[in-house]
Amino acid sequence: MQIKDLHISPPLFLAPMAGVTHSGLRTIIKECGGVGLLSTEMLSARRLPNENATLSPLLIKSPIETPMSYQMLVSDPDDIPAAMEALHRYGAQAVDLNLGCPAPAVRRQGAGSKLSEDLDLVRKVVSTARAATDLPLSAKIRIGTELNREKLQNFCRMLAGEGIDYLIVHGRLQKEKFCRPPRWEWIGVAKEAVDIPVIANGGIFTVADARQCLDITGADGLMLGRAAPQKPWLFAEIHHQLYGGPVPPPVNKPALYKRFIDILEATFPAGRQIGRTKEFSHYFARNYSFGHHLGSRVQSCTSMEQVHHVARAFFMLQEPEACTQAWPAI
């Protein structure tokens, strides 16, 4: 997929996820292969100009993490020009506008899904962002507050009309929880309305899901959220099976987990490592039938040293051979 000067190949996107989509996860995904565009988590437009890109866990990145989109959380269009300037300085290759997040803390600021309820304000946000950057610009939306074909399509047309280059659609209504199956057919409704590429998001956990989601939505690409920290190798598998990419090498899960914590220890400020490790472990543990042991033991750790011990002990029980290869005794 070509968006302005940016070549996104394969059209597989990492979803922005607060506390999850950071340098550690992005690096292991990139090392596994198959991802076309990485993402930050949502970044407050108001705070962006004052962030320290080398110290903030939101902005730390390594040279391998490319190409990368930065997601902006906006409530006031006046914050956009300075925020966009900061993103240009930080080396953003694409910018995404968060128009879908239903989290109460985000809505209270007037951002995310709250912003998308005020059409005039959304229009202003998008046109201001468009005027402030030549980078590829996207918007990430949910399918609305209710199932309304016309409303959804008009909204998508308005976004495209204001100049976004591609649209990301999470196939759930604003109030729907993640446990509910996504409504992929409604992503297809959005796709029918616009000529720009549409990226489908929500509920893709396997290669079969990816295939089915593309079939149902007719989308131009896919965005993976929770599957990314659970199976960082899934992009490579989808790339291989759906887009003719190379056969992915066998996965060594203990090695991948260890690589993740090693990266965090090497690149994140000490106080910022353990929270991210707990968050990641919560997802990664789902690869094992007794994964809750990993999840809960890591949750109770107070140091990264403890994490090494409890995680290695867990993997030695689950996959002794793979673990011994990857993780020398401590």
Q: Which active-site residues does the annotation give?
A: 101
Using the minimum distance from each CB to ligand FMN, give the nearer residue, 162 or 279: 279
Taking the least distance from each CB to ligand FMN, the nearer of 17 and 35 is: 17
What residues from 182 to 201 belong to the interface with ligand FMN (CB under 6 A)? 201
Residues 287-306: x where in contact with ligand FMN by CB under 6 A, - otherwise, as a string: --------------------
286 binds ligand FMN (CB under 6 A): no
Q: Is 225 in the site for ligand FMN (CB under 6 A)?
A: yes
Question: According to the binding rule CB under 6 A, does residue 203 interact with ligand FMN?
Answer: yes
Question: Measured from the CB atom, is 171 or 254 closer to ligand FMN?
Answer: 171
Q: Is 23 in the site for ligand FMN (CB under 6 A)?
A: no
Is 276 a binding residue for ligand FMN by CB under 6 A? The answer is no
CA-CA distance, 1 to 82, in Å (whole number)? 29
60-68, 116-124, 127-135, 221-229 -> range binding ligand FMN (CB under 6 A): 221-229
* Binding of residue 42 to ligand FMN (CB under 6 A): yes
Pick 98 or 273: Cβ nearer ligand FMN: 98
160 touches ligand FMN by CB under 6 A: no
Q: How far is CA 208 from CA 128, 157, 205, 213, 224, in A?
A: 39, 30, 8, 8, 13
Nearest approach in angstroms of CB 17 to ligand FMN is 4
Among 3, 28, 48, 101, binds ligand FMN (CB under 6 A): 101
Contacts with ligand FMN, residue ranges (CB under 6 A): 15-20, 41-42, 71, 98, 100-101, 140, 170, 201-204, 224-227
